[in-house]
Structure 1
Amino acid sequence: MQEHSAVSLLALKRLVVFAGTRRVYDERFHPGVNIIRGQNGSGKSTIADFIFFVLGGEFDQWKEKAKLCTEVRAEILTRSGVITLRRFVTTRKEPIAVFFGAMDNDEAAIAERWSRFPIQRSEKQLSFSQALFRAVGIPDAPGSEGSNVTAHQIMRLLYSDQRTPAPRLFRFESFDTRDIRVAVGDLILGVNSYALYETQIELRSARKKLDSATIRLDAFRTNLPPNFGSVRLDQIDQEQADLEAEQLRHIGEIEALESIEMVDEDDEYASARNLARDALRQRRRLMRRLEEEVEQLALELDDLDIFVDYLEETLRKIGATSQLAGSIGSLEFSHCPNCLKILEVPDDSDHCIVCTRPFDSGKQEARYLEIQIDTSLQLRESRQLVTAKSQNVSSKNNELRRLRSDLRRARSEFVGQFELAGSPSQARIAQLHNRLGQIGELIKQSIGRREVAERFTRLISERDQADDDFMKLNARAESLSAQGDARRRRALGQVSQSARGILHSDLPRQAEFQKAEMVSLDFGDDAVSVDGSMNFAESSNVVLKNAALLALVGAASRDPEFWHPRFLLMDNVEDKGMELARSHRFQELIVAEARAAITPIQIILTTSMPNPALERPDLVVGPTYSEELPTLNFSGVPPCKTPDLFAQEIPLPDTDDGLIRLVAAALGIDEETLADHPFHVEEYASDDDLVYSWRLIWEDSPPVGVEVFGVPGQQWSEILPPDDGSDADIDDSFLYE
């Protein structure tokens, strides 16, 4: 099972579109459902396209009015904090600039703090997808043929547009592959398929390496001469050491005899001998200098390894520090930690309760992300430097071995070249030189045998290492495959259950939806089916696709193992001839799914058929647009002054005595016990739309013995609301505020 310290999160807080220096669109968005409504042709889809584009979508099919725009900015909330994106409206590959902070910061102050990220990744720089995924909390996953899943490919599953045929899950594009759709789907579901994909690639490579290493070793062993002798390096080294020791003894004896006969040596002979000696000394000096260079490079590599370890530890500490800061930041003091006096709670949450100074936790989280990305770049450069220096050391070691071999040969030639004769001492010298010649030849043979033995030993080591690597990767692939299959079944089961409930709650326009048992999503085939069937009316296909995407984000809100960013952009809720009542019903289902979310989600939808019951400030964005009041106002709009709902705390409902009494009776516990466990109430409909229940969201922990759902910290219980009027005095208006 994957470890999740927090769920993946992406939410749009504010969108600004510029035409030159003029703002032509500026609206704030909020958690949950965001409805952009207006007449057909008023520019709603253009706003959806801009959202897709600024979040990394590759898009250039702009409408005429959109082509007049030059820049789009988005302030987004991520798991790592608030960041601002800026992208110029040019090509589909236009880079994206990122500021690690809120949009309201002074433009002049942040002018030099924009970080520019390309759409395509490279070895030298992080791509926008890599930066966004790290902020949102999505792993960097490989796609097909060694490429990586990008923000564009993720957004294709999060953006349901009007151009794509209704049965397709992914936004349509001409160049698409099954492998990349499967990779995106598995990533969204939280399947470790990206790890399995990498492992399978490594496994295929390891199999080839093992086969190749085995073939080379067998061929080498077959071609060894029968009388080759031992191939053990230690035995060959000992034989060579014995020969060199004998060689040194004979050289010493020759030098002693020569010192006696030195006066008789011919001048030309002596000169040649001296030149040969000087050449040997030069070879020795060159070898010593190369040995010193290798030693120095080894020391530098040690230092680099220490620095790489430090950077890796720093990255780990940054993550831990960010998590710890988030945990500590949630502590609330009731008494001063110094004098123990009772503290007065400030009017808002933007000031410290102890020192009353203003603070912005979002800036702190964004700063952590900025430091983390900078450290990651240093780590990548350091690892590249380690690789380069390691290759340099290997090259110099090869050169050093060659020099040593050349020196041995030159020394053997030297001792065999200058033979003397003519006197007893010269005869002895000649005898010694003869033996030295034999030794020199034996040393040459030993050097050759050692090279063969080294190659043989290296081939055995390569074969053994390749076999070990293959076995480890094979075991890892089998384990990951089993884990991935189990996770995929579990996640798709949750999505199917949620989608089935949505279809059951649809208006009775498609009989198969009302009795649906299984809703299946197939990312590879880019399709969704109901009980194996995909042949429905066009408007029903729209409902089915949107139900699947809605169920996907809903399931992600209830299961932290999803890597889904808990974000959905819908521009087709009334596509393909959708009737008014059915569109209104589906809008209600979207709101119900958002209210049932356990972890935060955001759904942005456009509609020309707004449901009047949903005309509420916490559900709509901007005015109702028309041809006279389009989304893009080229006369200019002022900066948005709408309150930031992300910064507001949702007040707990007034749990008066009547409500406490009702809930305690429904749960079968006493009122005093219930009063010690704060909660608030949400209303939701069952799948068949016949039974309405109250969901009690426990703020801290539930009372002992009460049936609960969810995980610790995100638990709820369900009760039936009063239906006999006996508790009519209870004010439940907070359910609809």
Structure 2
Amino acid sequence: MTSKPSTFFINRFVIAKGGKAVYDETFHRGVNIIRGANSVGKSTIMDFLFYSLGGDIAEDRWNEEAQTCDAVIAEIELNGNVLTIHREVEPGRKPPMSFYSGTYEQLCAANSVVTWQRYGINRTDEKLSFSQQLFELLGWPHSQTDDFANLTIHQILRLVFVDQGTPVNKILRAEHSTFDKPSMRQAIGDFLLGLDDLGIYALKQQLSKAESEFAKIDGQLDSIYKYVSPSEGVLRTASLNSAVENANKELKELLAQREALLVQPDDSTSDAALTIKAAQASQEIAELTNEIDIRTSKQAEMINEIVESELFIAAIESRIKALKESRAAYDFFGEVRFKFCPSCLSALTESSKEQCHLCKTELDKNSRAASYLAALNELAFQKKESTKVLVELRTKLSEHAHYLASTQRALQTAKSTHIAALRISSDRVFKLNEISAKIGAIEERISNYDTKTKLVSAVEGLIERKQKLNTTMLGLAEQINASKAQTSSRRESIESNLSEKTIELLKKDGGFEPAFNVAQTVMFDFGKDFMLVDGRSKFSASSETILKNSFHLAILLESLEDDSMRYPRLFLLDNTEDKGMGPDRSQNFQRVLVEALEVHDDKPYQVIMTTSMVDPSLDKSNLCVGPHYKKGMHTLNI
């Protein structure tokens, strides 16, 4: 867990166009209120703030005035360290950020001699990404989700910034569905609430590294095994040493035989002996040729089987994809209903939901779901079995190819022997030629053994490393599970505290929602992105707005009491009057927020909020930032 609280504050914010500031305001610690009539651009300022800190904004969220701006500049303070950041305005894109180590005033005074450090959205071999740099300055680890997706500053800001574009029944700022996974949402909540610590992150990093190395070694061994013929047995040092010893002994005997032949006189030999040898070689050639023909034909059959298996697996994958798409389409559109019979074009009568409106067959949703799962499981089983068969076929083909190559080499040797028997007239010369060929073959085999001895040494080292990694991964997995168990008590405490604080705030709502007056528990789930009050999630839109804002305020309040939380004590609120909120209720919440935070004025925090219905008692206070924007005015001085 963190040893000291994380703080992320905005001291000054500038929006530039054509080299001039069209918005320039200074923010203070505590509550900052941007107030004004509707449609004056308050949300534009908040979106720009979010963007300047590293947030991503969809292209359709940029209004016409914002798109004409060139850049945003923010003087920020991270854990007491002041720096100024600059980001170009590029709607629909994710431009880099530039960092200056100093205040905005120092930046202006430095003029053209400013040294900027530029950071992109992705990490390079030479430099961190801007998210990683901000994490470093905040003293945060570079966290990952359970499926190893990296947390970025954009994801962190989804819990810090409450905007108007997100449904009020959601905890986190809305994200494109492709990237908004439950694991990511849960990771954001756990990270900022300090529930992912107790060494779990470091253990996950070690496990990820071990798994990556294990997979790499596994791939290396697989490549080596493909290089070595399966018929050669298991690659082990002892077996290879024995083979080398036997080959050297055989070579020694052949060399002795050759020496004995070299000292013998060259007696003439009858043609009969050589004719017999030629006939034997011819017979061997015929047998080997026939065997090669048979094995070549068999090889073609095996290749055809592999191709058919690959096509069958591709067809299964296509059916699985189609089945999933069909289920998704049904879940989205529901049952297809016809107005007219597709056969006779007669008008169809309505039927109950439990019947097919076309053939009147009784329908059962559970039966449909069971049929879908059964079909999906059957296809998955077929794919698994077919893949298993395919692997076996490829292994057999590899063995077959090795054996065929060996047979072809034997055929070439037999042909050479046959030619020698026909051309050589001396049995002594023939034997010398035959022995020399054997010597050459053995020397080549010994050379191959030497190469494989080095390979075997590497293989055994890889196998030993793989076994150690496997033991390490099992140990790390056990430690992670044990650490997760230790976090359960802290999780219960945090959830209880947030529930109590949220209920306390809801009970100060002023009686607009009766259920809030008697609320007992508030439950929340970051992964599923919802909140419940006494098991209930549906309220009026304005009540859901109060619930959402109260929960986020409760997180800020808890962070002021719990230094183990990473929540940076920064709350950006652009949702005060969302969804039909009346003036009385909105102003009441503003007072509740200010009063709740006044208790913690001795601790650093920052709230930047917008309102079109500012409470009169707050309107002229030092909590307000900038002018009270009247109808017709605009926050951007364009």
Which range, TM-score by smaller chain? 0.5 to 0.7
| 1-structure distance, mates of 2:225, 2:117 | 55
- Match of residue 103 from structure 1: 104
Q: Deviations over 1:258-301 (max 9, x none)?
A: xxxxxxxxxxxxxxxxxxxxxxxxxxxxxxxxxxxxxxxxxxxx
Name which structure has the greater RCO, CA cutoff 8 Å, separation 6+.
2
- Match of residue 50 from structure 1: 48
How far residue 145 of structure 1 moved from its aligned partner, in angstroms, is 5.1
- Match of residue 273 from structure 2: none
| 2-structure distance, mates of 1:220, 1:620 | 74
How far residue 434 of structure 1 moved from its aligned partner, in angstroms, is 12
- Match of residue 585 from structure 1: 588
How far residue 479 of structure 1 moved from its aligned partner, in angstroms, is 2.2
How far residue 575 of structure 1 moved from its aligned partner, in angstroms, is 1.8
Q: Deviations over 1:400-459 (max 9, x none)?
A: xxxxxxxxxxxxxxxxxxxxxxxxxxxxxx9x9999889848845854774685477357
Aligned alpha-carbon RMSD (Å): 4.9
**Of the candidates 538, 542, 545, which is equivalent to residue 542 of structure 1?**
545
How far residue 106 of structure 1 moved from its aligned partner, in angstroms, is 4.3
- Match of residue 158 from structure 1: 160
Change (3 A) 1:623 1:543: same
The letter of the residue matching 2:13 is L
| 1-structure distance, mates of 2:9, 2:99 | 15
Alignment of 1:359-508 (within 5 A): 440=443, 443-444=446-447, 447=450, 450=453, 454=457, 457-458=460-461, 460-461=463-464, 464-508=467-511
Alignment of 1:513-528 (within 5 A): 513-528=516-531
Alignment of 1:265-304 (within 5 A): none
Alignment of 1:230-379 (within 5 A): 233=237
| Residues 203 and 473 in structure 1, CA contact (< 8 A), matched pair in contact too | no
The letter of the residue matching 1:31 is R
| 1-structure distance, mates of 2:42, 2:634 | 8
Give SS of 2:142's match: coil
| 1-structure distance, mates of 2:218, 2:589 | 58
- Match of residue 603 from structure 1: 607
TM-score (norm 1): 0.54
| 2-structure distance, mates of 1:67, 1:469 | 53
**Of the candidates 180, 184, 187, which is equivalent to residue 188 of structure 2?**
184
Alignment of 1:652-691 (within 5 A): none
| Residues 214 and 466 in structure 2, CA contact (< 8 A), matched pair in contact too | no
The letter of the residue matching 2:62 is W
| Residues 72 and 86 in structure 1, CA contact (< 8 A), matched pair in contact too | yes
- Match of residue 94 from structure 1: 95
Give SS of 2:549's match: helix
The letter of the residue matching 1:34 is N
Change (3 A) 1:589 1:210: farther
Change (3 A) 1:21 1:556: same
Q: Deviations over 1:89-123 (max 9, x none)?
A: 22241222211211111434465411222234445
| 2-structure distance, mates of 1:473, 1:217 | 29
How far residue 470 of structure 1 moved from its aligned partner, in angstroms, is 3.1
| 2-structure distance, mates of 1:435, 1:17 | 86
Percent identity over the alignment is 33
How far residue 199 of structure 1 moved from its aligned partner, in angstroms, is 7.0
| Residues 3 and 563 in structure 2, CA contact (< 8 A), matched pair in contact too | no
1:64 aligns with 2:64: yes
- Match of residue 357 from structure 1: none
| Residues 214 and 463 in structure 1, CA contact (< 8 A), matched pair in contact too | no
Change (3 A) 1:206 1:577: same
| Residues 72 and 87 in structure 1, CA contact (< 8 A), matched pair in contact too | yes
- Match of residue 680 from structure 1: none
Give SS of 1:479's match: helix
| 1-structure distance, mates of 2:183, 2:517 | 33
Change (3 A) 1:180 1:110: farther
The letter of the residue matching 1:594 is L
| Residues 69 and 89 in structure 1, CA contact (< 8 A), matched pair in contact too | yes
Change (3 A) 1:518 1:238: same
Give SS of 1:46's match: helix
**Of the candidates 128, 134, 137, which is equivalent to residue 135 of structure 1?**
137
- Match of residue 75 from structure 1: 75
| 2-structure distance, mates of 1:219, 1:113 | 55
Give SS of 2:507's match: helix
Q: Which has the higher helix share?
A: 2
**Of the candidates 1, 7, 10, which is equivalent to residue 8 of structure 2?**
10
Moved more, 438-447 or 586-595: 438-447
| 2-structure distance, mates of 1:459, 1:128 | 38
Give SS of 1:630's match: coil
**Of the candidates 2, 10, 23, which is equivalent to residue 25 of structure 1?**
23
| Residues 34 and 621 in structure 1, CA contact (< 8 A), matched pair in contact too | yes
| Residues 178 and 525 in structure 1, CA contact (< 8 A), matched pair in contact too | yes
The letter of the residue matching 1:140 is H
| 2-structure distance, mates of 1:548, 1:481 | 25
Give SS of 1:133's match: helix
| 2-structure distance, mates of 1:538, 1:442 | 83
The letter of the residue matching 1:534 is S
| Residues 202 and 473 in structure 1, CA contact (< 8 A), matched pair in contact too | no
Change (3 A) 1:126 1:445: closer
| 2-structure distance, mates of 1:209, 1:449 | 21
Change (3 A) 1:459 1:596: same
How far residue 23 of structure 1 moved from its aligned partner, in angstroms, is 1.7
| 2-structure distance, mates of 1:65, 1:524 | 36
Moved more, 185-194 or 538-547: 185-194
Q: Deviations over 1:54-113 (max 9, x none)?
A: 111212422333333222211011016011111222224122221121111143446541
Q: Deviations over 1:562-595 (max 9, x none)?
A: 1211111111112222232222221122123323
Q: Deviations over 1:310-349 (max 9, x none)?
A: xxxxxxxxxxxxxxxxxxxxxxxxxxxxxxxxxxxxxxxx
Alignment of 1:108-123 (within 5 A): 108-109=110-111, 111-123=113-125
Change (3 A) 1:233 1:538: same
Change (3 A) 1:632 1:531: same
1:169 aligns with 2:167: no
1:562 aligns with 2:560: no
Change (3 A) 1:171 1:446: closer
1:621 aligns with 2:625: yes
How far residue 507 of structure 1 moved from its aligned partner, in angstroms, is 0.9
How far residue 182 of structure 1 moved from its aligned partner, in angstroms, is 1.6
| Residues 62 and 91 in structure 2, CA contact (< 8 A), matched pair in contact too | no
| Residues 67 and 91 in structure 2, CA contact (< 8 A), matched pair in contact too | no
The letter of the residue matching 1:465 is K
| Residues 75 and 103 in structure 1, CA contact (< 8 A), matched pair in contact too | yes
| Residues 199 and 476 in structure 1, CA contact (< 8 A), matched pair in contact too | no
| Residues 85 and 99 in structure 1, CA contact (< 8 A), matched pair in contact too | yes
Give SS of 2:23's match: strand
| 1-structure distance, mates of 2:120, 2:227 | 50
Change (3 A) 1:239 1:629: closer
Moved more, 590-599 or 239-248: 239-248
- Match of residue 32 from structure 2: 34
Change (3 A) 1:146 1:448: same
Change (3 A) 1:81 1:221: same
